Structure 1
Amino acid sequence: MRRTEPRRDRWLLMATILLVFVGLSLVGRYSSQPPAPLPADAPADQFSAGRAFAHVERIAQTPHAGGSPENAAVRAYLVETLQALGLEVEVQRQVVTYQYSRHPSAASVATVHNVLARLPGQRRDGKQLILMSHHDTRESTPGAGDASSGVATLLETARALSSGERPRNDVLFLFTDGEETGLFGAQAYFGHHPSAARTGLVLNFDARGSRGPVWMFQTSEPSAPLIEILQDEVSHPLANSLSLAAYKQIPNDTDLSIALEAGFAGMNFAFIDGFFDYHQATDTPQRLSLSTLQHLGDYALPLARRLANEQQLGDVDLGKSPAQRSFFFLPGIGLVDYPAWIDLLAGGLVALLLGLAVARLKWESRLSWLDLLRGWVTALLTLALPLLLIIHLQNNWLGSENLRASLAQLARSEALWWIFALLTLGLAIWLQAAAHRGKAILPIALMALLLLITQLHNGDIHWLPAIGATTVLLIAALVLSKPLSSVALVAGAALLWPLLIGLLAFAMPQGLFLVTWPMCLPAIWWVVAGRDAQARRALVLVSALIVIPAGLILIPFAQSLFVMLALMSAAIAMLLLLMTLLTALPALFCRDLRAPAAVLSLCAVTGFAWAALSSPFDQQHPAPASVFTVQVDGKSFRISDDALLSDWHRDILGDAPTTLNSERYAPGSQREVFARELALPSLEGASIELRATASGGRLELKAPSDVRQMNLYVPRNAFTSWRIDGKALPPPSDQSRSWPVLRVYAPPQEGVLIEFELDAEAVNETTELVLTSVYPKAIGDLALPARPPELMPHPYTHADGVLVVQRIALTQAQPSAVSHGGFEQPTTD
């Protein structure tokens, strides 16, 4: 009995830890759920998801990419609906030339058709409030979430506002086009429309999924007055100040980015759950959550009513203090909002308390400096090793380098959350308990072995870093080869937190709330608790009470990050779990938890193996599969760049397809793709008129009406300058890419004129331009057979379509002219 009782207590303690973690996870998830949808017969002055969903069903019947007949049909529906509400409706047609700031080597041209609907205010000379969403989609998705949900939200909000008293200021409902291909509609409005100068504030609605709560994830600066209004007007607001800073670091933009660049204030709203459906054929009305649609309206309508009646609309501060704010969602309380300087003060106080706690622990327990160092190394390894292992497992076994691998992860996002979380907790607790017993070599060696196996599986081992990492781990194992007291482990963790606070305060102070408030109670406890208070029962009870408020802040945020970052940065979410665990360190050493933690880790690894080795694709989560046709150099090919071929592929490509280098149709790309040559007549590409001299020239491109996109590949550094439709842009040069490209979306009927100057040293007799004309759907006899339910098309433009590739010689010896499409080569005058 003496041996079974402690063993039973160890397993009971581990079960308690897991129950606390599961409970906090469930509280975090369900406390942020969107509200119940209101039916179609809800009162006229309220936003009804039932009424808005009728618009989604009408708009998201088929894909409606910019420039397509389906897009024109959606546009006509918007105009008809808005006119029936009595609004002033306008369609803005604009050809936009745009150089994306994140990729300055490339330029784009697009023809867009924005729909503008104005609800006149009582003050026609004042500023206007803009509610904005985009009505275009990718080529292969109906776009129920992205962004028919936003379009429907604007329509239902317009209905509710127009049925009541006129607001003080104008309200403009802006339905942009060309967002998916490069934010062109927003560029067209804020860069060209005369009414853009009257803009006071912009509310943008977008989506990266099909369900879940709606987050306000971006504001203009200063954010304080907008956050105050959000908190006052919205019944269930979700936001945090860290997402505002983090969003600036990721390569994503929405239409609001253009408004902010133009100097206007605004807020961005989106839902992110159900990310598998983002840009996919599965983004259908049937998959869109009505509760999510209601949550969009619960932001849009009350904010529109408040802001449209703001006397100071248009002033950046809206008449209030410009001081920065910290804010985050806390389950059971809602949006917590306070001045940002409080975080800095709290962070400094927590760091001071932790310093006092370490000093007291060292003095009362007579810890040596070496003991403190070993405790600190253990805490650092507890954070670093599980995270490093998860990064390697995810990248090398699950993969994220192609669409299929990414979708496979997304199809199992719920399962992967629990697998990663249990693996992280199990390994961390195992390492701490083993260091306490002086046997840390086993978990460290096991994690190092798993890292080596993942590298071998990837087939690309960088030996110098691998040897360096192994050496560091061996030294760490030697440092931890002797038992370490629980007091030293707690002191080591306490020393780690000031480092985290300092790093976050320096790199991203808007996220300081993640490290200050979770550590307040542990820091106070570690300072006031004397040695007599280190009884096991007191430790377990106090640690449980301490971890709950920490977990309520950290775990819900970890879950939202796990979804928001589309699993690409799962380690960041797991870091927050480990930070939660470190607040409960004293309770972990009341029993030897090595065995239960090792079993937990083994179960998680087994679950991970299941996720890595089995297919997640089914009719609910179809696998991406596409075949397209390429005509190049007088030949025609059926091509698939999918890594795995299904029976559907083989019906089209044959049982033994050949391979083709993608350089043939996409200069600068070097991939082997599956191909099958076809006997087809030449298809019509864009018509080209080229006149070039030794110093420069002009190139005019005109596409057939059913060509959706043109891509012009230019040899690196060939142009020293260029003008597109009269607009001067920086020369297309990029040392990281061999072939900078001009993309023309929904090519204008009047064509695109490119005037350029040549670099005589970079151009010779063999230099050529490459132009691809993209038909988005298979034409004529090139139609593809229907896919089985477990497959779906790719979301990119030429999936299932046709590419006509033309090569144009840049002869600098004398003027040249070419005035036709197809495959004929340029001729010299």
Structure 2
Amino acid sequence: MDAPDDARTPRASGRRGARLKDRAMSDTPASAGLERSASPRASWLARSVTAVLGLGVILLVLRGSALPEPVPASAPAERFSAARAREHLRFIGAEPHALGTPRHAAVRDYLEARLRDLGAEVQLQREAVFAPAQGIPRPAANVENVIGRLRAKDGAKGTTVMLVAHYDSVPTGPGASDNGAAVASILEVARALQQGPALAGDVLILFTDAEEQHLLGSTAFASNHPWARESGVVLNVDARGNAGPLLMFEVSPGGGWLVRRLGEEAPDIGAGSLFTAVYQRMKNATDFTALRQGGWQGLNFANVEGTQAYHSRKETVDAVSDGLLQQQGDTLLALTRRISREPSVPEGEELIFFNAGPLRVHYPRAWAVPLAVFWTGLFLFALFRARQRKQLRLWAVLREAAVLLVVGFLASSLARLAWPLLKALQPAFRALSRSETQDNARFFLAVVLWVMAVMGVGLFLRRRAPVMELAAGGCVPWAVVSLAISIVLPGASALFLWPLAGMVLLLLWLSGRATQPLTPWHVPLWGLAALPLLLLLPDVLATFFTVLPLERAAVPSDLLMLAICLLAPGWLWLAGRGLPWASGGALLLGLGLLVSLAVGYHFDARNPRPTGVLYLVDADAKTASWVSSDAVLNDWTRAYLGSGPKREAVDALPEVKGPFWISPAPAPGDDVWGPRVDSRTAAGEGGRRKVSLHITPSRPDVAFVDVQVLPGDAVVSARLAGQQTPGDALRTRNAAQGVLIRYWVPSSEGFDLELELTASGSPTVRLGEHVYAVPAPVTAGLPARPEDTMPVPFGEGLDEGMRVTRTVRLDAP
């Protein structure tokens, strides 16, 4: 019979205890937590110093560089003056000047006259252009680019610099910021160039037309103008809002030398290769896109704050600050003078560059992967050295990384709920055409607080985790992301690489301390290791929160979550036992901010509600309907649509995703018949048919004519404005759209469209003619637009006015 456990010999029991002790020592790291100082005062002081310094760095980065003081009109002639530029802006941005309108022609003539006053060679490029690859509907237009040339003095042969801005506005706003401010600044820069030192190289000034219609003006210049075939540097200025400082967000391939010149001549301008890397993978584009693709090197600038006013009536002259005008002008003037002195365009150089607080850092892009491999390798070395010294367990590091990411996913999920929650709290937000508020900063702060709160709870639950394991676990996702980004998107690699480097150095230091405990005065080293993160991330987060719709707040929130993972031990130590209370307070404060935003939101003349109604006419049936793309109707739209409008798709409006509100409208008068179509058919190769359509608008104020061919498979190719395009390039992913072409502001003589059709194809062509007005007899007795509403910003819903449609059947012979 075996003896019971408690009756075993002392020697056997001692050997077993020793084995268990050795096993426990091999599984448990020596530094299991942060050693608390015997002096609460020292601990409190260390935390305060760390927190204040870290917050100071963040505020320094977020503050950035203030806009320069505007220079008065009495300044020396060779200087740029915001006051002188504003005189131009008062004329250009006084009212909407969309393509083809009388006001558009007046702005065009003004620009021509001012350039001639400066002694520039002036050309007006009139082109019919079709750019099917640049948007849906496939755009075409008759454009009028205003082009000037300032010749270098005394035959100097420096580098040609081209200053570019588009002078057209959207139909829904006066365009003082997008892009009147840039046009006005370039006019003043040109004047200062003529009054200053002799030009070392020619300066081209390109005021493009129809930028809002998918870059048609810059496309026409890049494709057809002889000056576009020269080599040089383009500096393009655009706008995404009506406020904020200038941001250099895109550099052309091989333009690293331009980044260096920007740092020398305009060090206060925000810039980063991350923005270029991200922007060039988005669907957005500016005139710079067409010129860059045409072979020009250059830099692309824009101000990106004040997005609530974008493409709306709030883009007024008074909303544009003199500081922004001065910054635009000073930057363009300094760069133009410097670049024009280059004897030739240097060979291509690719750089990774970023602002680190007041510093601008750049290095060759070829270093991205080697640096990522080096720091990832050093991180692995630190892990294995700490493992050998029994400071951490590798499986536990992976566990901490997984826990942090799970908690981070929950935090990010909460951020994704912020916009739906705001719409639930305030139904008025459902009426907005895009996810914006009157005070986006409050929304951003609420999301940040929520992410911090959830991450704080997760960290508190891991408060007993060994310091080294928690620190290394937070570095794991950064090492993986840094290595992947350096390969896939090297321009964005710095954001992940250098914060990781700071923490790797800290881990190396910790792993060399053996079993010595950490005191409160050692832990501020986490703040020093976090310095790269504090210098890089706040500015990126602020920019992403600004330029992305609020419904996509999870994108910057994910970056914030990863940052908290990286700082996990230091974050936990700073808050200590008060972390649950701090997290709860942050959660409640974030919710309070959203509630205050919802409760205080209202529409008025200063913050109008976007809304609109379209008068849709079927010229074949001689019937009409009121149609609205608003998500929620208000009293004004209900006056048109009545009490029981239907909610359904409308085949005659394929360019905007439905469904729409629709109800019957008064029948059109006899003078409303839509565009006239003359057709001619000829035999083509292989049994195909060539159908020539001449489409003539019925009135002189037509904004655009849509041509939709269904089914799109019947179209083998199309020729419009001298451009032959295969049918495969014209058809959209949505088969119901077929081939959809929009000709902006056609001449009164009309335009020709040649279609090559399959042998058996007998498509239907639907024609739509749009004007930005509704006949007075139709609106008789209906209320005028209230002051607290405005047209839906251009491109975000149906265009207002009247659309007249008719169909033509191209039957097979």
Name the TM-score, length of structure 2 as normaliser: 0.86
- Contact 1:408-1:616 within 8 A present in 2 as well: no
Q: 1:778 to 1:239 in 2, by over 3 A?
A: same
The 2-side partners of 1:538 and 1:359 are apart by 26
Contact 1:641 1:674 in 2 (8 A): no
What SS is found at the alignment partner of 2:773? coil
Verify the 8 A CA contact 2:47 2:520 in the aligned structure 1.
no
Q: Give the match for residue 753 of structure 1.
A: 752
Amino acid at match of 2:278: A
Instruction: Give yes or no for the alignment of 1:118 onto 2:149.
Output: yes
What is aligned with 1:769? Answer: 765
Letter in 2 for 1:523: V
1:71 and 2:104 matched = yes
Aligned to 1:689: 678
Equivalent in the alignment of 2:668: 680
Corresponding residue of 1:502: 483
Structure 1: state its 5+ residue gaps: 438-483, 814-829
Residue 428 of structure 1 is matched in structure 2 by 455
Q: Give the structure 1 partner of residue 696 of structure 2.
A: 702
Q: List aligned pairs for 1:645-656, cutoff 5 A.
A: 645-656=633-644
Is 1:713 the counterpart of 2:708 in the alignment?
yes
Q: Which moves more between the two structures, 284-293 or 577-586?
A: 577-586
CA distance in 2, matches of 1:20, 1:655: 61
Aligned to 1:518: 499
In the alignment, what sits opposite 1:461?
Answer: none
Shift of 1:110: 0.2
Asked if the contact 1:543–1:585 (Cα under 8 Å) also holds between the matched residues in 2, the reply is no
Offset of 1:545 from its aligned partner? 3.2
Match in the other structure for 2:26: none
**C-alpha displacement of 1:747:** 0.7
Q: What pairs up with 1:341-380 in 2 under 5 angstroms?
A: 341-365=366-390, 367-380=392-405
Question: Matches of 1:25 and 1:566 in 2, distance apart?
Answer: 24
1:69-112 CA-partner distances (Å, limit 9, x unpaired): 11001111112222222222221111112222566xx5322011
The yes-or-no answer on 1:728 pairing with 2:724 is yes
Displacement, 1:402?
A: 10
Alpha-carbon separation, structure 2, partners of 1:309 and 1:154:
19
| Partner of residue 556 from structure 1, selected from 539, 542, 546 | 539
For 1:667 and 1:383, how far apart are their aligned partners in 2? 39
Taking the aligned partners of 1:634 and 1:14, their CA distance within structure 2 comes to 77
What letter matches 1:177 in structure 2?
A: D
Assess if the C-alpha contact under 8 Å between 2:438 and 2:601 holds in 1.
no
Note if contact 1:145-1:284 (Cα within 8 Å) is conserved in structure 2: yes
Partners of 1:13 and 1:656 in 2: CA distance: 67
Aligned equivalents of 1:688 and 1:596: distance in 2?
A: 70
**CA pair 93-404 structure 1, distance change in 2 beyond 3 A:** farther
Partner residue in 1 for 2:113: 80
CA contact (8 A) 1:330 1:552 kept: yes
Equivalent residue number for residue 585 of structure 2: 599
Separation (CA, whole Å) in 1 of partners of 2:46 and 2:801: 59
Compared CA separation, residues 567 and 88, structure 1 to 2 (3 A): same
Match of 2:298 among 242, 266, 288: 266
2:35 match:
none
- Three-state SS of the structure 1 residue aligned to 2:395 is helix
Which amino acid in the other structure matches residue 568 of structure 2? Answer: L
Aligned partner of 1:504: which letter?
I
Report the Cα distance in structure 1 between the residues aligned to 2:496 and 2:655, rounded to whole angstroms.
Answer: 48
Stretch deviating more after TM superposition (66-75 or 601-610):
601-610
* Structure 1 CA distance for aligned equivalents of residues 769 and 681 of structure 2: 22
Stretch deviating more after TM superposition (722-731 or 41-50): 722-731
Cα 1:337–1:568 change in 2 (3 A) is: farther
AA aligned to 1:791 is T
Q: Letter of the aligned partner of 1:76 in structure 2?
A: D
**Contact 1:378 1:489 (8 Å CA) reproduced:** no
The alignment status of 1:167 with 2:166, answered yes or no, reads no
Q: Which moved more, 1:382-391 or 1:11-20?
A: 11-20
Deviation at 1:806, TM superposition (A): 0.9
Partner SS state of residue 181, structure 1: coil
Measure how far apart 1:57 and its partner are: 1.3
| Candidates 115, 133, 155, aligned match of 1:100 | 133
Q: Is the 8 A contact 1:135 1:148 kept in 2?
A: yes
For 2:212, what is the secondary structure of its paired residue?
helix
Q: What amino acid does structure 2 have at the position aligned with 1:388?
A: S
Matched, 1:642 2:636: no
Q: Distance in 2 between matches of 1:363 and 1:792?
A: 68
SS of 1:169's equivalent in the other structure is coil
CA RMSD of aligned residues (A): 3.1
One-letter amino acid matched to 1:348: V
CA deviations on 1:223-268 (whole Å, 9 max, x unpaired) are 2211111122224232111111111110011111111111121211
Letter of the 2:119 partner, please give it: G
**CA shift digits 1:707-762 (9 cap, x unpaired):** 01001111121212222244310113234341230110011334221122223455
Moved more, 508-517 or 520-529: 520-529
Instruction: Work out whether residues 408 and 617 of structure 1, in 8 Å CA contact, stay in contact via their aligned partners in 2.
Output: no
Cα deviation per residue 1:590-613 (whole Å; 9 max; x = unaligned)?
434233223322432443455567
Query: Given the alignment of the two structures, is residue 578 of structure 1 paired with residue 561 of structure 2, yes or no?
Result: yes
Describe the SS at the equivalent of 2:168.
Answer: coil
Q: TM-score, normalised by structure 1?
A: 0.84
User: Match for residue 467 of structure 1?
Assistant: none
CA shift digits 1:683-718 (9 cap, x unpaired): 142221123578342211111211010011111212
SS in 1 for 2:520: helix
Q: Deviations over 1:131-189 (max 9, x none)?
A: 11111011111001110011001100111011234313221111111110021111221
Q: Which amino acid aligns with 2:569?
A: P
C-alpha distance in structure 2 between counterparts of 1:668 and 1:58, whole Å: 33
Distance in 2 (alpha carbons) for counterparts of 1:570 and 1:670: 25
In structure 2, the residue matched to 1:444 is none
The DSSP-based 3-state class of the residue aligned with 2:70 is coil
2:318 and 2:233 mapped to 1: Cα distance?
33
Partner of 1:43: 76
Distance 2:393 2:257 in 1: 51
Q: Is the 8 A contact 2:139 2:213 kept in 1?
A: no
| Mapped partners of 1:38, 1:775: distance in 2 | 43
Q: 1:781, 1:16 → 2: CA distance? A: 73
Given the superposition, is the C-alpha separation of residues 409 and 663 from structure 1 closer, same or farther in structure 2, using an over 3 Å criterion?
A: same
- Contact kept in structure 2, 1:659 and 1:675, CA below 8 Å: no
Amino acid at match of 1:328: F
Q: Structure 2: which 5+ residue stretches go unaligned?
A: 1-37, 683-687
Q: Deviations over 1:659-706 (max 9, x none)?
A: 564224448954131434214314142221123578342211111211
Q: Does 1:330 align with 2:330?
A: no
Counterpart of 1:177 (choices 204, 209, 229) is 209
Q: Distance in 2 between matches of 1:539 and 1:616?
A: 51
Other structure's SS at 2:271 match: coil
Check whether the contact 1:623–1:792 (CA below 8 A) recurs between aligned residues.
Answer: yes
Distance 1:166 1:133, change over 3 A: same
Matched, 1:381 2:413: no
Partner of 1:414: 441
Partner of 1:253: 285
Residues 49-64 of structure 1: pairs in structure 2 closer than 5 A: 49-64=82-97
The answer for the alignment partner of 1:466 in structure 2 is: none
Query: Do structure 1's residue 295 and structure 2's residue 283 form an aligned pair?
Result: no
Cα 1:367–1:685, aligned 2, differ >3 Å: closer, same or farther?
same
Partners of 2:227 and 2:719 in 1: CA distance = 27
In 1: Cα distance, 2:695 partner to 2:651 partner: 22
CA distance, structure 2, for counterparts of residue 8 and residue 249 of structure 1: 52
Q: What is the correspondence of 1:438-453 to structure 2 with a 5 Å cutoff?
A: none
Distance 1:227 1:669, change over 3 A: closer
* Residue matched to 1:468: none
CA displacement at 1:539 relative to structure 2: 4.6
